[in-house]
């Protein structure tokens, strides 16, 4: 009879199987709790690593958290289903729970029981009532889905909104930090990820979406990166050790989940050996932060020794089949193994001993399925059989006997495999039970190794791509010398250099830059690289520039690109206005704002009016937010003469022989042309369409602006606006048509056809 029952429920947010997880990404289960005053509590747990975070804030902050953590599953109160969809969209896998599960008393009781403590103050989560309610709901959900073994969840980490540079979900998307709208497109993560461990790769993602604002912590990271760059041998030895650590974070979490196998257990011990190596490398380091990290490492030497002593080399991947405990660990196991693996030798010795004792030279030991092992004696010597032997079978030429010793050995052989497996599993369970006392230490080690991996990654990037150490300061001026886009410069063809640019933004003289220039000239790249350099500096990374003085920044806002949200009934322009409104309503004295093509989703005059008023509003705001404003509306160049802290810049280009060459160099002064028609030609638009566009442009430019675009376009309407392949240069096309009609293609040779084609080409010239 096979006993059947539910032992575990797997949902997107509770998966622990390696085949369901991506090694370089966390698999977070999120819970949201809404208080009556509109405050959201949020909790995020990765059951595969034991990481547990709590936070709370308004809807926008919660939205940013969800965008940053990208949970595989979100749970919330059942009656909030409609509101959740309205506020956070339908892009998440969700599950709803009853209201009573989100009661404060029940949540706190669940957390206190899990952490086996009388107070949560030790976790530094005081005042986070809403967040703790969400955390309690997660523990309840895990219990409901048959996940009782959660001893690896040993801590609760607080996420403070004030502790990180603000990136809203629009900025995370627009800057393509983690994901690109294009399949397999380039992202900042791909450009920076030089990590060598899975836990380092996962941590890097969090460092990107949660940059620091504490200058002491940022400079600690920058100093370590500088130290790693200067000490090549130590960096290389550290990287070599890290590469052998594997995914220590997920390995240790498998212990309480009872999903670790002998091979993984041995890998864990080897990783702890590397922890010891790294601790030795960096203890007493000249970099204080590295010295503190090394001091916090615990190699768990006794436990690592025990694992390597108990588990044999190259053990099987499945514990249930046995064969992984090393010889010499347990005497009884060794004796059973001897019996199981040395049966023939034992039987030969027994046969010789009985033959000598009885004087029967022809004595043999055999086996059959009826009564197992037996002693066979020929009729010639059956009178020598001892009385204690038991006769089991008589044949024509011989008799077969069994003895108590032979029967006892038979039972041992038959039961040896089962006995060995039972003993091995008992030893394995004892080893895992003992490891429970080391869970916290090993998790701390894994976190430190992940941080070291990220810092080594920053050092490698700086060396490989010529990044420089940024200077963070308390002032307001952003000064970048020869800055480059960290993603785009990596996509260039071999031998092609990225055009670097200088940039200065401050509150006194150059608060707002109005950037104009041709399409495809690199305006958007300049905006994004400014944001990315600022962000990388706050991560503690060196930056792609010759030098960068970066003011401590608390928020980065971007409004770039065009997209709609038709499922929510929002047009491209509505999405644009929503994102811009979010920026306007959240400006601060230390924020950085990047605006690209504001107002292009509506009519020209409406767009100019909106863009103009936004620039004025930001200029006159008491916070004086630093703003980089790219636009096609050249009318905005007039703002430089009207507002003292607005400066015009353009991206240079050169027109040679009717063709435009983009120089991608930032220069003072505004631009008066967008060269959209040139770009249309480069995109492969039909020549006749491009020619007609030039005609329309010339006529529009010849009219006074005061007449308004409606009047100008009205004069242009009529047959001329109906494009036809024979409209432009009609005489030439008539000649070509006549020539084509006169041809008899059935009589043309290939050479004649080529000659006629060349003749037509000449007419087009």
Where in the sequence is the domain holding 23, given as residue range(s)?
A: 1-159
Residue 141: CATH number of its domain? 3.30.420.110
Asked if residue 689 and residue 555 are part of one domain, the reply reads no
Residue 559: CATH number of its domain? 3.40.50.300
Q: Which DSSP helix (H) or strand (E) runs through 578?
A: helix 572-584
Structure confidence at residue 739 as a pLDDT band (50, 70, 90): confident
Indicate the residue among 159, 178, 205 that finishes a domain: 159
Indicate the residue among 100, 134, 159 that finishes a domain: 159
Q: What is the pLDDT of residues 406-436, one digit of tens each?
A: 888 888 887 888 899 999 999 999 999 999 9
Interaxial angle between packed helices 215-230 and 288-296, expressed in degrees from 0 to 180 and rounded to the nearest 10: 90
Asked if residue 668 and residue 578 are part of one domain, the reply reads yes
Give a yes or no: residue 443 inside a domain.
no
Asked if residue 706 and residue 603 are part of one domain, the reply reads no
Asked if residue 655 and residue 607 are part of one domain, the reply reads yes
Structure confidence at residue 397 as a pLDDT band (50, 70, 90): very high
Indicate the residue among 159, 176, 196 that finishes a domain: 159
Structure confidence at residue 338 as a pLDDT band (50, 70, 90): confident
Q: What is the pLDDT of residues 149-159, one digit of tens each?
A: 999 999 999 99
Instruction: Give Cα separations from 577 to 113, 254, 620 (angstroms).
Output: 48, 48, 20
Give a yes or no: residue 398 inside a domain.
no
* Contact present, 444 and 296 (Cβ < 8 Å): yes
Q: How many CB atoms lie within 10 A of CB 254?
A: 20
Distance, CA of 354 to CA of 405 (rounded, Å): 11
Give a yes or no: residue 301 inside a domain.
no
Give a yes or no: residue 91 inside a domain.
yes
Q: For position 732, what pLDDT does the model report?
A: 67
Checking DSSP bridges between strand 646-656 and strand 512-516, what pairing results, if any?
parallel
The answer, yes or no, to whether residue 562 has pLDDT greater than 60, is: no
Give a yes or no: residue 243 inside a domain.
no
Terminal C-alpha separation, the chain: 90
Distance, CA of 678 to CA of 682 (rounded, Å): 6
Distance, CA of 444 to CA of 454 (rounded, Å): 16
Mean pLDDT of the chain: 88
Asked if residue 750 and residue 629 are part of one domain, the reply reads no
Reduced to 3 states (helix: H, G, I; strand: E, B; else coil), residue 353 is helix
* Contact present, 315 and 266 (Cβ < 8 Å): yes
Asked if residue 703 and residue 741 are part of one domain, the reply reads no
Least confident of 104-108, 169-173, 255-259, 747-751: 747-751
* Contact present, 294 and 279 (Cβ < 8 Å): yes
Reduced to 3 states (helix: H, G, I; strand: E, B; else coil), residue 367 is strand
Give a yes or no: residue 140 inside a domain.
yes
Give a yes or no: residue 426 inside a domain.
no
CA quadruple 239, 245, 247, 252: dihedral positive or negative? negative
Asked if residue 669 and residue 619 are part of one domain, the reply reads yes
Is 239 or 4 the better-scoring residue by pLDDT?
A: 239
Number of folded domains in the chain? 4
Asked if residue 734 and residue 716 are part of one domain, the reply reads no
Asked if residue 705 and residue 587 are part of one domain, the reply reads no
Give a yes or no: residue 265 inside a domain.
no
Identity of the highest mean pLDDT range in 344-348, 365-369, 708-712: 365-369
* Contact present, 106 and 136 (Cβ < 8 Å): yes
Asked if residue 696 and residue 582 are part of one domain, the reply reads no
Phi, psi of 45, deg, nearest 5: -130, 130
Q: What is the pLDDT of residues 624-651, one digit of tens each?
A: 999 999 988 888 889 998 999 999 998 8
Q: What is the pLDDT of residues 482-533, one digit of tens each?
A: 999 999 999 988 888 889 999 999 999 999 999 987 766 788 899 999 999 9
Distance, CA of 365 to CA of 402 (rounded, Å): 10
Go through the chain and tell me how many residues it has.
765
* Contact present, 364 and 375 (Cβ < 8 Å): yes
Asked if residue 750 and residue 658 are part of one domain, the reply reads no
Asked if residue 92 and residue 48 are part of one domain, the reply reads yes
């Amino acid at each position: 009879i096979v006993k059947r029952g539910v032992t575990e429920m797997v949902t997107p947010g509770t998966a622990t199987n390696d085949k369901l997880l991506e090694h370089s990404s966390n698999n977070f289960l999120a819970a949201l709790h809404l208080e009556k005053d509109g405050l959201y509590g949020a909790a995020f747990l990765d059951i595969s690593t034991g990481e547990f975070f709590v936070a709370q804030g308004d809807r926008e902050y919660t939205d940013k958290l969800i965008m940053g953590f990208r949970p595989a599953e979100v749970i919330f109160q059942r009656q909030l289903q409609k509101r959740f969809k309205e506020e956070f969209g339908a892009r998440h896998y969700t599950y709803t729970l009853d209201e009573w599960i989100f009661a404060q008393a029940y949540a706190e009781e669940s957390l206190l029981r899990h952490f086996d403590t009388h107070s949560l103050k030790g976790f530094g989560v005081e005042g986070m009532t809403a967040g703790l309610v969400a955390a309690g709901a997660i523990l309840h959900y895990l219990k409901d889905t048959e996940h009782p073994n959660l001893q690896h969840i040993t801590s609760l980490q607080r996420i403070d909104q004030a502790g990180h540079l603000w990136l809203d979900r629009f900025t995370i998307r627009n800057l393509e930090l983690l994901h690109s709208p294009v399949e397999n497109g380039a992202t900042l993560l791909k450009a920076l990820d030089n990590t060598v461990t899975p836990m380092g790769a996962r941590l890097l993602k969090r460092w990107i979406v949660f940059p620091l604002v504490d200058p002491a912590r940022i400079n600690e990271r920058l100093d370590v990166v500088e130290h790693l760059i200067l000490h090549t041998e130590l960096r290389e030895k550290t990287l070599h050790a890290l590469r052998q650590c594997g995914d220590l974070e997920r390995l240790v979490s498998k212990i309480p989940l009872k999903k670790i196998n002998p091979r993984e257990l041995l890998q864990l011990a080897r990783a702890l050996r590397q922890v010891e190596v790294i601790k030795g490398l960096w203890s007493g380091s000249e970099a204080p932060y590295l010295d503190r990290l090394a001091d916090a490492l615990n190699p768990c030497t006794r436990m690592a020794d025990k694992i390597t002593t108990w588990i044999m080399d190259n053990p099987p991947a499945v514990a249930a089949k046995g064969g992984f405990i090393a010889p010499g660990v347990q005497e009884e196991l060794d004796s059973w193994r001897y019996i199981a693996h040395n049966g023939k030798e034992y039987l030969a010795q027994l046969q010789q001993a009985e033959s000598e004792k009885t004087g029967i030279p022809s004595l043999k030991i055999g086996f059959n399925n009826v009564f197992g092992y037996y002693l066979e004696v020929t009729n010639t010597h059956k009178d020598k059989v001892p009385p204690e032997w038991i006769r089991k079978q008589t044949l024509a030429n011989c008799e077969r006997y069994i003895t108590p010793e032979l029967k006892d050995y038979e039972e041992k052989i038959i039961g040896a495999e089962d006995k060995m497996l039972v003993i091995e599993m008992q030893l394995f369970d004892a080893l895992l039970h003992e490891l429970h006392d080391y869970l916290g230490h090993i998790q701390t080690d894994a976190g430190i190794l992940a941080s070291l991996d990220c810092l080594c990654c920053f050092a490698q990037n700086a060396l490989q791509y010529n990044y420089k150490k940024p200077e963070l300061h308390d002032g307001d001026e952003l000064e970048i010398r020869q800055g480059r886009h960290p993603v785009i410069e990596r996509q260039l063809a071999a031998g092609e250099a990225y055009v670097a640019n200088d940039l200065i933004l401050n509150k006194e003289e150059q608060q707002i830059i109005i950037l104009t220039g041709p399409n495809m000239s690199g305006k958007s790249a300049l905006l994004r690289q400014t944001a990315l350099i600022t962000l990388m500096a706050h991560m503690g990374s060196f930056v792609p520039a010759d030098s960068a003085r970066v003011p401590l920044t608390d928020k980065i806002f971007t409004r770039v690109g065009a997209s709609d949200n038709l499922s929510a009934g929002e047009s491209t322009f509505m999405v644009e206005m929503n994102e811009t409104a979010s920026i306007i309503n959240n400006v601060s004295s230390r924020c950085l704002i990047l605006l690209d093509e504001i107002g292009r989703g509506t009519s020209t005059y409406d767009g100019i009016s909106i863009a103009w008023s936004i620039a004025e509003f930001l200029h006159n705001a008491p916070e004086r937010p630093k703003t980089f404003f790219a636009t096609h509306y050249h009318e905005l160049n007039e703002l430089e003469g009207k507002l003292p802290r607005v400066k015009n810049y353009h991206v240079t280009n050169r027109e040679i022989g009717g063709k435009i060459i983009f120089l991608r160099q930032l220069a003072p002064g505004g631009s008066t042309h967008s060269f959209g028609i040139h770009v249309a030609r480069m995109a492969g638009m039909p020549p006749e369409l491009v020619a007609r566009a030039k005609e329309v442009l010339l006529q529009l430019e010849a009219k006074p602006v005061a007449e308004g675009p409606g009047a100008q376009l009205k004069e242009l309407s009529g047959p001329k606006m109906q494009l036809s392949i024979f409209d432009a240069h009609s005489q030439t096309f008539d000649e070509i048509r006549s020539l084509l009609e006169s041809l008899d293609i059935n009589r043309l040779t290939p050479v004649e056809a080529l000659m006629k084609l060349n003749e037509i080409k000449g007419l087009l010239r």
